[in-house]
Amino acid sequence: MLPRRRRPPRPGALADLSPVRILTQIAILQLSYYGVALVLIVFTTFVAGKHPDAGQLLDWHNLRADVTTGWTLGLCWMLDSLITVIPILLLIARSKLVADFAVTIHVVNLLVTSLYTRAIPSTLYWWLVQACSAGLMISVGMWACQWRELQPMAFGGKGKQRATVDAANGRPTGPAPVEEEEGFAMGGGRGRGRDGAGTYEMVGMAPREPV
């Protein structure tokens, strides 16, 4: 009995929704989110003349609206969400998936913060900062991904490069030649087949005589 042949994977949505790929992207984005926040918080703490600690990053009690330190931390988290758009653009690059990943980042942050403090955040200011951070990340991320999706794609690179070289050498340039390797050229002329087995010549057909 012949072995059963495996069906090749379908391109497109199934490859994009691979669980391993999604988990890898979430892990990279979460590390980038905390990495940028760590740099911003440590920088602002040193500027204020204080010593940074892990509580400023993970303890929701420090994110308060009645002290200057709380407002500074809120500003750091907003800047963090804005900078995290860059790895989202590089890794996701699809506008319809930005909201899912942005919400996932903030849900994981809620879980990590709750586990660190052993309590669910109960201050209105913390939830307001998280909501504004998620909204900013989603809006700017979708705009950046849509801008990248609408960029025109370049075709016929070889013909364009050949015309550029001719212009640099002082030769008269015309319209870019048709890439004959991709198929048959329109009109008469010579070209090379797809398999590279010699050349072919297009010959005009003589008009038929009326019967």
Q: What is the DSSP string of 61-121?
A: GG--SSSHHHHHHHHHHHHHHHHTHHHHHHHT--HHHHHHHHHHHHHHHHHHHHHHHTS--
Could you tell me which of 130, 101, 77 has the C-alpha nearest to residue 28? 101
Structural element, H or E, at residue 18 = none
pLDDT at 183: 43
Going by pLDDT thresholds of 50, 70 and 90, the confidence category of residue 153 is low
Which ranges constitute the DSSP H helices of the chain? 13-16, 19-47, 55-58, 68-83, 85-91, 95-117, 124-149, 157-168
pLDDT in tens, 33-92: 999 999 999 999 888 888 888 888 999 999 988 888 889 999 999 999 999 999 999 998
Whole-number average pLDDT of the chain: 77
156 phi, psi to nearest 5 deg = 65, 50
Question: Average pLDDT in the 85-112 region?
Answer: 93
For the record, the structure tokens of 179 come out as 């890439």
- Which residues pair with residue 190 across a beta bridge? 201
R_g over Cα of the chain: 29
Would you place residue 152 in the very low, low, confident or very high pLDDT band (cuts 50, 70, 90)? Answer: confident
Residue type at 179?
E
**CA distances from residue 115 to 28, 63, 102 in whole angstroms, order as listed:** 21, 16, 20
Decide: 56 and 112 in contact? Cβ < 8 Å: no
CA gap 30, 22 in Å, rounded: 12
Check residue 102 and give its pLDDT. 94
Tokens of 153: 């794609």
Q: Which residue has the higher pLDDT, 123 or 204?
A: 123
CA angle 124, 135, 142 (to 5 degrees): 170
Which is more confidently placed, 64 or 203? Answer: 64
Task: Enumerate the β-bridge partners of residue 188.
Answer: none
Lowest mean pLDDT: which of 15-24, 27-36, 88-97, 179-188? 179-188
The pTM score is 0.64
pLDDT at 51: 83
Q: What angle do CA 171, 175, 176 make, to 5 degrees?
A: 90
How crowded is residue 80: how many other Cβ atoms within 10 Å of its Cβ? 22
